[in-house]
């Protein structure tokens, strides 16, 4: 069943930059009520200035263990229910195996996996209260499909998100809540501008958000793009380990 993203009450995390900011603007143009979350309150304030009657700001660092209780209470202060929840906040850092950094793993896990789970915990009671075809959307990554070089922290956090949402989808089905998982390839944002390697088939935020909105409105369970990148990675995950390792090794950069 298709449900248009208009006149809905939506909570969007990671709305201050990149994919989330582009998505926020598109959802506001489509006349939705939007609760926006990120750490950078001043950036969120600009959205509020541009769309004063549609935006509510809940600034929060989702990597903080107290975020689940804080967000649950703040959301309940502002709305009785949520129709759509889009959990998009995330960071990316890459591992150097010659100088293994446990703090990096902790930062990525606390934001991309545990931070995301804290948001789910905060949102579930309000999604359950929606009478408007409730929908939970998580922004994972193409890297969730198979282990890629230097992605021991990032790729794992996104694969954990995927697994979590696949389980949750089964458990919230009787409650009438749909669950979608988004797997973007490379999108030109602050996050990818830090990368020092080639990023094939990179998309603009505009192109990525177009795909996301289409997929969310169609209630697709898996929303992945661009196909030219997704299919080779998915294929890698279907090959015998000896072959996928051989192909994967071609992607490993030899150090300096």
Ligand X SMILES: NC(=O)c1ccc[n+]([C@@H]2O[C@H](COP(=O)([O-])OP(=O)(O)OC[C@H]3O[C@@H](n4cnc5c(N)ncnc54)[C@H](OP(=O)(O)O)[C@@H]3O)[C@@H](O)[C@H]2O)c1
The catalytic site residues sit at 154
CB of 9 or CB of 13, closer to ligand X: 13
Query: Binding string to ligand X for residues 125 to 144, with x set by CB under 6 A, is what?
Result: --------------x-x---
Q: In angstroms, rounded to a whole number, what is the distance separating the alpha carbons of residues 35 and 198?
A: 35
Task: Pick the piece of the chain touching ligand X (CB under 6 A) from 98-106, 182-190, 219-227, 245-253.
Answer: 182-190
Task: Pick the piece of the chain touching ligand X (CB under 6 A) from 82-90, 93-101, 216-224, 246-254.
Answer: 82-90
In angstroms, what is the minimal distance from the CB of 152 to ligand X?
A: 15
Spatial CA neighbour of 118 closest among 256, 11, 46: 11
| Spatial CB neighbours of 24, under 8 Å, sequence gap ≥ 6 | 12, 15, 34, 36, 47
Instruction: Say whether residue 9 binds ligand X (CB under 6 A).
Output: no
In angstroms, what is the minimal distance from the CB of 87 to ligand X?
A: 8
Q: In angstroms, rounded to a whole number, what is the distance separating the alpha carbons of residues 234 and 40?
A: 35
| Spatial CB neighbours of 23, under 8 Å, sequence gap ≥ 6 | 12, 15, 86, 88, 209, 212, 213
Taking the CA atoms of 242, 158, 223 and 249 in sequence, report the sign of the dihedral they define: negative
CB of 13 or CB of 130, closer to ligand X: 13
Q: In angstroms, rounded to a whole number, what is the distance separating the alpha carbons of residues 129 and 168?
A: 17
Question: Of 12, 68, 71, 92, which one interacts with ligand X (CB under 6 A)?
Answer: 92
Instruction: Say whether residue 155 binds ligand X (CB under 6 A).
Output: no
Q: Do 182 and 223 meet the contact criterion of CB atoms below 8 Å apart?
A: yes
Instruction: Say whether residue 75 binds ligand X (CB under 6 A).
Output: no
CB of 9 or CB of 224, closer to ligand X: 224
Contact set with ligand X (CB under 6 A): 13-20, 38-40, 61-63, 88-92, 111, 115, 139, 141, 184, 186-187, 189-192
């Amino acid at each position: 069943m298709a449900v248009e993203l208009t006149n809905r009450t939506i909570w969007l995390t990671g709305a201050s930059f990149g994919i989330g900011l582009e998505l926020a603007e598109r959802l506001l143009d489509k006349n939705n009520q939007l609760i926006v979350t990120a750490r950078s309150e001043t950036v969120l304030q600009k959205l509020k200035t541009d769309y004063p009657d549609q935006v509510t700001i809940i600034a929060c660092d989702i990597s903080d263990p107290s975020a689940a209780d804080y967000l649950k209470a703040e959301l309940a202060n502002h709305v009785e229910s949520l129709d759509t929840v889009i959990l998009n906040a995330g960071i990316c850092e890459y591992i150097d195996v010659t100088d293994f950094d446990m703090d990096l793993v902790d930062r990525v896990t606390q934001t991309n996996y545990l931070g995301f789970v804290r948001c789910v915990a905060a949102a579930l009671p309000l999604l359950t209260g929606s009478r408007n075809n409730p929908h939970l959307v998580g922004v994972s990554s193409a890297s969730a499909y198979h282990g890629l070089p230097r992605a021991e922290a990032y790729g794992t956090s996104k694969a954990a998100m995927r697994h979590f949402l696949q389980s949750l989808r089964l458990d919230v089905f009787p409650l009438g809540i749909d669950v979608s998982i988004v797997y973007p390839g490379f999108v030109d944002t602050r996050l990818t501008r830090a990368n020092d390697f080639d990023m094939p088939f990179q998309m603009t935020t505009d192109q990525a958000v177009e795909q996301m909105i289409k997929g969310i409105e169609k209630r697709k369970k898996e929303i992945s793009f661009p196909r030219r990148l997704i299919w080779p990675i998915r294929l890698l995950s279907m090959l015998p380990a000896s072959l996928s390792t051989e192909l994967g090794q071609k992607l490993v950069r030899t150090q300096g």
